[in-house]
Amino acid sequence: MSFDLNKYRELLVNAQKAGYNFCDFSVITENKPPSLSKSNTCLLRHDVDADISAALVMAKLEQQIEVASTYFIMLRSPLYNLLGRKNHSMVEEIINLGHSIGLHYDQGFDSIRNWSLTQTAAAIEREAQVIEAQFDTKVTAVSFHQPGSEVLNGDIDTGFRVNTYDRKRLADFEYYSDSNRQFKLPEFQNVNIEDSLASMCPNNIQLLIHPIWWVYDDMATEAVWDKAISSNFQNMQEQLIETERAFGLPRRFDISFKQQP
């Protein structure tokens, strides 16, 4: 199966034709509508682990076909500085395109530090407030990076913000993810995507899409990661060239990738 923007656009357009409404997580926090059991709702979410540039490309495509989604961004990404000028501006652009922002929380970091659930709950609130203050927006949902059993079992308190793995609050939603390109959404097993989606109505869906798998359409997942790393490196260089006089004359660094033995 191909993972590219054309295929992604086809998926969204056919979901619209099948009758799905794309909403953010405020439909859960605000209890609107009161019952979601027959509302054909799609909670489209993106966990932005690695590259905000790819997220912005996807956000522009979605805006063109009038699809709204939620982009979950990290304070602890190993690849991007959320508050760097370039990334900050791209997140603002995503918001201005009509999308929502959520917190992508690195719960795996808490696990290796043996943090208590109380400590994690407090940290989630702090990080959500940082994002709200920086981007003048509301964070109504939290997704988890490398979630442990505490997350999956619903033991972590996220307050009024929806835990995207909350089985009770999202009981009316079927969950599908493209994690590591292991995509098991039924319509991809069918030649006619529109008919397959239509057959799923009125089931509600929570659909997790990682932008890098679709924006960087190499077949090899390793090559996709190489492109994401290179993208972040180029964003860093652009800010240095534009803002730091001590950096010297404008110049470019090329990254070469070698397989580790």
Domain with residue 22: its CATH number is 3.20.20.370
The overall pTM is greater than 0.85 = yes
Phi, psi values for residue 158, rounded to 5°: -105, 15
85-94 pLDDT, tens digit per residue, is 999 999 999 9
pLDDT of the residue at 241: 79
First to last CA, the chain: 30
pLDDT at 233: 86
**Dist. CA 260–CA 181, nearest whole Å:** 23
The range of the structural domain enclosing residue 113 comes to 5-247
Q: Which residues contact 149 (CB under 8 A, 6 or more apart)?
A: 155
Which two three-digit tokens encode residue 249? 């004359």
Low-confidence ranges of the chain (pLDDT < 50): 32-34, 191
State residue 30's pLDDT score: 64
At residue 211, the pLDDT reads 95
pLDDT for the residue numbered 118: 93
Total tally of structural domains belonging to the chain: 1
Residue 253 lies in a domain: no
Is residue 252 a part of any domain in this protein? no
In a domain, 15, yes or no: yes
